[in-house]
Structure 1
Amino acid sequence: MSKAQQEREDKYDVGADFAVPDLDDLVPPGGRLEEDTVTLDSEYFDTADRDLLRQRVTLRRRTGDTDAGWQLKVPDRKARTEIRVPLTADDTVPGELAALVSGVALGKPVHPVASISTVRLRLRMLDPDGNLLTEVADDTVRATAAAAAAGDGAVASEWREVEVELGERGDGKLLEAIGERLTREGARPSRYPSKLSRALNPNGPGLTDNDSAADGSGAEVVRELLTAYLDTQVQAIVGGDVWLRRGLDPVHATRVGIRRFRSTLRVFKKVLDPAARTRLDEELSWYAGVLGEVRDRQVQRARFAAAVTDLPEELVLGPVAARIENDLLAEQLRYRAEVMETVDGDRYRNLLAELARWRTDPPMTENATSGTRALKKAARKARRKADRRLAAALDDGDDVALHRARKAAKRARYAGELTRGLVGKKTSKKRIAEYKKIQKVLGEHQDSVVALGTLRDLGARAGSTGGENGFTFGLLYGLELQAARRARDDAARLTT
């Protein structure tokens, strides 16, 4: 049976003569430092095309120390989640993990691509109760890339690096403090996101978030900002793929990642290749729609359950709560089954492959050469469009227009996130908060609009198939009408 835990670590390249600096003054009162040395042997698995590596997913079989076993590492916001399975007798990937990576692997078989042996000098910082705050790992690494991955033959390489990983009781400030101390002594943030990427690319820069041109040209600044933002959204989508296959519920987080990605394609369209951008936007819209059927039922179930609970008992006539829960849950499960069929299809796999290319190398136009000016202009245009749409929608009170205004507010908010570093911190924070609030208020209005249609269908079904009293469904319908009006009034006040 697998176990999962989140990890957050920073990696540093160091020279052969590097010495880890003294960290005693960072130990909390009553805490301590423990030092030991372990040898870790790991065999890494991937497809022949390195599809897992491209999506920042790691699958390995490790022996040595207490974390021996099969380990799958999946992107999870600023950290990664590690899923562990006990060691097996051979190097055959356990069926559970093979199923979890089947989407990221694009349906291709995985096989050994590298063997890495690490002699690790560990410095573990513990709090007074013995809980791990952080571990500083001084690694001497020898790696051998398998012949199939290396091309003409197996390639061996050696290097030294330092990893700083947060423990269960550590915090980001401690990670930063240790990082500052390491860099003062000559350590450099690693060019490589993992040992595997370095093993497979011993003479190159590797696949890393830190890759960008040194000349600081306009197009490269644009590329750096775009890839940093898009990569974060792909992490949410890829992580969602694995969590779906694990039986968990990543639907909302996946859809948010898709929304942010699609918003970027639309707002910053002038710096992106039009054909490639349009094609990817269509495919993301398709997948978001498949997930949306599940998410709509999740939202409605929670919304109606709370509404029924809030009603006085004498106003709940018949099995209203049961009718709502049973009908919507049945629909949710049916649509979830469709999602699982979708993620095993060729169209979805092609989408993941395209996202892997965009996260590191989005196709750009000549307009990108104008640099940050193009990005700021596009973000400004998104804000103006959001303002115009909101004003127009409030003038006529049309539900469709209000929904379009909500989507425009989302795009303005996400554009503000991407360009956060191009304007003052205070200004950026204010703009993002402003459009987030508009998005929230209009989202409440849209939830009520959708709820009205669902309640009408549920009430009609209850009366026609179950002979149930429709009074309570009508009452809930009236409450949703009131909620929609309140949300519209709240939106109007935001413009005054």
Structure 2
Amino acid sequence: MTQSKRETERKYEPSSSGADGLPDLTGVGPVTSVTAAGPEVLDAVYHDTADLRLAGTSATLRRRTGGSDAGWHLKLPLAGDSREEVWAALSDDVPEALRELVLSRTRGAELRPVVRIRSVRSVRHLRDTEGRVLAVLSLDEVRADSLLAGGGRAEWSELEVELADGAHAGLLDTVERKLRKKGITRSDSPSKLVRALRDTGASREAGHSRQAPGEVVPGSPGAYVLAYLREQAGILVTLDPAVRRGQPDGVHKMRVTCRRLRSCLRSYRSVLDRRITDPLRAELRWLAGELGVERDQEVLRDRIGGAVVELPDDLVLGPVAARLRVWGVSHGDESRTRTREALASARYLRLLDALDELVRQPPLRAGAAGKTARVMAKAVLKEYDRLTGRMGHALEQPPEQSRDAALHQARKAAKKVRYAAEVARPALGKPVARLGKRAKAVQKVLGGHQDAVVAQDTLRELAVAAHSAGETAFTWGLLHGQERAAARARREELPSVWRAASDPALRAALRH
């Protein structure tokens, strides 16, 4: 069993050691009183792979005794000063649940003790007028011992300010201004582990096994493409724990990341050799497909369930909610299992390794060192021309299934324009940003149309099942009609949105 919480904190270099190093923060912002707690004696053994893969992605895994939360702690980076902390009960070995959550980072490599950190902690609680704890101020006297070959020992003092649950994040800024006036500055190490590895020399020893990244010319097309790929590959790894734990929108975000990676590799074939990237695109398509089963189920469940809730009670006839719930559970369990099996597979880990290898040793082509504006604009315009062709074809189709299929293909092309523009935006600026924004608008309309088309198919299945069970299918038919109307409305909206996206001035701006 695991528990999770959001941790928001900042670390500082104290002006002096010992309990006297804790500054008095009474009267700072909403802090009206400060109370003492502790001291605490903490003993933590940090685990990582031999080449420090967790530390390399700003994650930490430790087994700690002492304090009020003894146990295993996995900390995963979030935005700004925050991290997610996942707690598991004390055990001799790394809990399987935590081992699974770091799999995208470790790739199955053995987790072993790398550093032991012992701290004596003095604690102060910063309270408001009603006595509620707003933040915890602590001073740690730290001793770190490397457990890797060639590592040594390091000692230091560390001041930490951690927000309490529900406290306003602005309190950290208020406290920091006071600390700066007292000559207390932010630490250059985001965590104890980072400092311990650096000061004991362990990170230098482990770093010998790492490969240097492939060389690219700064400001070149290759540099921009690789920066985008590196960012998206990192996002894929970061999203993995959220998807495994079924967190809201995790599957959707990971699926979109796969699409961004695939699109970049396709659009910028003049930069990277497709003999290497095409097999990688195929694997990304596989992963997106596995995730898509669960994501499509989520979209349908929320869309149909929301539509049922909005209906007047007198139009909901029969056991509609019960049938929808059974449908959701049966399809949801199957799709969830498929996602988990994909993430547990060796194929998935090989894909992550291949992405790492791509950005470390990129298969550069001549276009990687070409004129940046020309190479990147050409790639974007090529996708734009493909979208133009597909939109023209779709708008000419009769109002039958063939048109729905053609509009779906146009939607895919609009995504490719948008993602190609994302890659080029740091290099080409506002002109490509405008084109990407227009392509996104087209994608949104076409996405609404596709969702309505898919929902119609599902509602028909539910109506048939209800009729076969002797239930009235009235409500399902009513919802089906609403989705037909929604699809028609999106088709009627599309021509004006497409006219804005096909403005010749957008193309002309990219060509200059």
TM-score bracket for this pair, using the shorter chain length: 0.7 to 0.9
Residues 297, 190 of structure 1: CA spacing in aligned structure 2 closer, same or farther, 3 A cutoff?
same
User: Could you tell me which residue of structure 2 aligns to residue 394 of structure 1?
Assistant: 395
Larger Rg belongs to: 2
User: Could you tell me which residue of structure 1 aligns to residue 487 of structure 2?
Assistant: 484
User: Could you tell me which residue of structure 1 aligns to residue 258 of structure 2?
Assistant: 258
In 1, distance between residues paired with 2:440 and 2:425?
14
Q: Which amino acid aligns with 1:493?
A: S
Residues 334, 357 of structure 1: CA spacing in aligned structure 2 closer, same or farther, 3 A cutoff?
same
Greater CA deviation, 114-123 or 318-327? Answer: 114-123
In 2, distance between residues paired with 1:186 and 1:364?
44
Cα drift, residue 308 of structure 1: 2.9
- Deviation by residue 1:59-93 (Cα, 9 ceiling, x = unmatched): 111245555431012344565311012434xx422
Residues 207, 484 of structure 1: CA spacing in aligned structure 2 closer, same or farther, 3 A cutoff?
farther
Q: How does 1:274-289 map to 2 (within 5 A)?
A: 274-289=274-289
Say whether residues 1:457 and 2:461 are aligned partners. yes
In 1, distance between residues paired with 2:185 and 2:346?
47
In 2, distance between residues paired with 1:380 and 1:135?
55
| Maintained 8 Å contact 1:77/1:235 | no
Cα drift, residue 11 of structure 1: 7.5
**SS across alignment from 2:240:** helix
Residues 312, 171 of structure 1: CA spacing in aligned structure 2 closer, same or farther, 3 A cutoff?
closer
Q: How does 1:174-323 map to 2 (within 5 A)?
A: 194-195=194-195, 198=198, 200-202=202-204, 216=218, 218=220, 221-222=223-224, 225-226=227-228, 229-244=231-246, 250-323=250-323
In 2, distance between residues paired with 1:137 and 1:386?
59
Q: CA RMSD in A?
A: 4.7
Cα drift, residue 123 of structure 1: 9.0
User: Could you tell me which residue of structure 2 aligns to residue 150 of structure 1?
Assistant: none
User: Could you tell me which residue of structure 2 aligns to residue 81 of structure 1?
Assistant: 84
In 2, distance between residues paired with 1:51 and 1:438?
41
Cα drift, residue 395 of structure 1: 4.1
| Maintained 8 Å contact 1:233/1:258 | no
Q: Which amino acid aligns with 1:171?
A: A
**SS across alignment from 1:318:** coil
User: Could you tell me which residue of structure 2 aligns to residue 149 of structure 1?
Assistant: none
In 1, distance between residues paired with 2:424 and 2:36?
43
In 2, distance between residues paired with 1:333 and 1:457?
19
Structure 2 residues not aligned, in runs of 5+: 500-512
**SS across alignment from 2:270:** helix
- Deviation by residue 1:45-70 (Cα, 9 ceiling, x = unmatched): 23446554455442111245555431
Residue in structure 2 matching 1:436, options 437, 440, 443 = 440
Greater CA deviation, 360-369 or 254-263? Answer: 360-369
Cα drift, residue 481 of structure 1: 1.3
The two structures have a TM-score, normalised by structure 1, of 0.76
| Maintained 8 Å contact 1:103/1:344 | no
Greater CA deviation, 190-199 or 104-113? Answer: 190-199
User: Could you tell me which residue of structure 1 aligns to residue 369 of structure 2?
Assistant: 369
Greater CA deviation, 370-379 or 121-130? Answer: 121-130
| Maintained 8 Å contact 1:42/1:62 | yes
Cα drift, residue 403 of structure 1: 1.7
User: Could you tell me which residue of structure 2 aligns to residue 156 of structure 1?
Assistant: 152
Residues 66, 361 of structure 1: CA spacing in aligned structure 2 closer, same or farther, 3 A cutoff?
farther
Greater CA deviation, 437-446 or 195-204? Answer: 195-204
**SS across alignment from 2:152:** strand
**SS across alignment from 2:453:** helix
| Maintained 8 Å contact 2:34/2:127 | yes
The two structures have a TM-score, normalised by structure 2, of 0.74
In 1, distance between residues paired with 2:226 and 2:12?
21
Q: Which amino acid aligns with 2:405?
A: V
Residues 456, 218 of structure 1: CA spacing in aligned structure 2 closer, same or farther, 3 A cutoff?
same
Q: Percent of pairs identical after alignment?
A: 32
Greater CA deviation, 128-137 or 41-50? Answer: 128-137
In 2, distance between residues paired with 1:188 and 1:377?
45
Cα drift, residue 446 of structure 1: 0.6
Residue in structure 2 matching 1:474, options 463, 469, 477 = 477
**SS across alignment from 2:235:** helix
User: Could you tell me which residue of structure 2 aligns to residue 62 of structure 1?
Assistant: 64
Residues 40, 238 of structure 1: CA spacing in aligned structure 2 closer, same or farther, 3 A cutoff?
same
Say whether residues 1:405 and 2:410 are aligned partners. yes
In 2, distance between residues paired with 1:13 and 1:220?
40
User: Could you tell me which residue of structure 2 aligns to residue 344 of structure 1?
Assistant: 344
Residues 185, 410 of structure 1: CA spacing in aligned structure 2 closer, same or farther, 3 A cutoff?
farther
In 2, distance between residues paired with 1:4 and 1:110?
21
Residues 10, 345 of structure 1: CA spacing in aligned structure 2 closer, same or farther, 3 A cutoff?
same
Q: Which amino acid aligns with 2:409?
A: R
Residues 270, 300 of structure 1: CA spacing in aligned structure 2 closer, same or farther, 3 A cutoff?
same
| Maintained 8 Å contact 2:125/2:133 | no
| Maintained 8 Å contact 1:217/1:369 | no
Q: Across the two proteins, how many residue pairs are aligned to each other? A: 478
User: Could you tell me which residue of structure 2 aligns to residue 171 of structure 1?
Assistant: 169
Greater CA deviation, 316-325 or 162-171? Answer: 162-171
Structure 1 residues not aligned, in runs of 5+: 147-152
| Maintained 8 Å contact 2:12/2:185 | no
| Maintained 8 Å contact 1:55/1:238 | no
User: Could you tell me which residue of structure 1 aligns to residue 505 of structure 2?
Assistant: none
